[in-house]
Homo-oligomer: A and B are copies of this chain.
Amino acid sequence: MNYDEAKKKFISTWGSLGTLWGINKAMAQIHALLIISPEPLSMEDIMQELQISRGNTSMNLRQLMDWGIVFKENKMGERKEYFTSEKDVQELARQIAKERSRRELKPTIKILKDVSDIEDDGTLKTKELISQTKALHEMAETLDIMMNKVVGQDHNWITKALVKLIK
């Protein structure tokens, strides 16, 4: 496999993996492209490499920036904007963990709490609803605490902790 084949394969894999995780194809592919690019890329560069429209590129770059994993960069003397990805994969993981906690886990936890707090009217179905949502609530909270711990730690913490954990 040569460079071009490998690059293509990486970008398309990352793209289809993205859809599996609720991230759209273009967004995941732009990210893949940036993460392996040694130089910042302009919007034109991205459009051309991935064969996607200007609007699409603009929208998805904005989203990646909202996630805190892609940054604008200005080359001095140039008007055009350039984009780079966070290159440190551990930092990337931390950023993603942080955002998923904020966007998905936290709101879910709140609803599980509300639902599990309804009054027990003594019926079997109510008892079941309460006990199951309580269990889910507890698990979601544990997961959330862990994810947020990760965010606050130094760089190599994840690997160290995992190694310790699996021994």
A interface with B by C-beta (< 8 Å)? 1-3, 6-7, 9-10, 13, 17, 19-22, 35-38, 87, 89-90, 93, 104, 108, 111-112, 114-115, 117-119, 121, 123-129, 132-133, 135-136, 139, 142-143, 145-146, 149, 158-159, 161-163, 165-166
Once bound together, how far apart are the Cα atoms of A129 and B87, in whole Å?
A: 11
Number of copies: 2
**Which 5 pairs from chain A and chain B are nearest by CB?**
A38-B128, A89-B135, A20-B22, A6-B118, A6-B115
How far, in Å, is A12 (CB) from chain B's closest CB?
9
20 A-B contacts (beta carbon < 8 Å):
A1-B115, A1-B117, A2-B119, A3-B118, A3-B126, A3-B129, A6-B114, A6-B129, A9-B114, A10-B111, A17-B108, A21-B21, A36-B128, A36-B132, A38-B124, A142-B162, A146-B166, A149-B165, A161-B165, A165-B165
Since A20-B104, A38-B124 are in contact, a sample of 16 more A-B pairs with Cβ atoms closer than 8 Å, ordered by chain A residue number, is A3-B118, A3-B129, A9-B114, A13-B111, A21-B22, A35-B132, A36-B132, A37-B125, A38-B125, A38-B127, A38-B128, A89-B135, A89-B139, A142-B159, A145-B162, A146-B165
Chain B residue with minimal CB distance to A20?
B22
| Residues on B with beta carbons closer than 8 Å to the beta carbon of A142 | 158-159, 162-163
B132/A1 in contact, CB under 8 A: no
Tell me, in angstroms, the Cα distance from A119 to B133 when the chains sit together. Answer: 52
Inter-subunit contact B21/A118 (CB<8 Å): no
Name the residue on B nearest A120 (C-beta): B3
Q: A119 to chain B: which residues have CB within 8 Å? A: 2
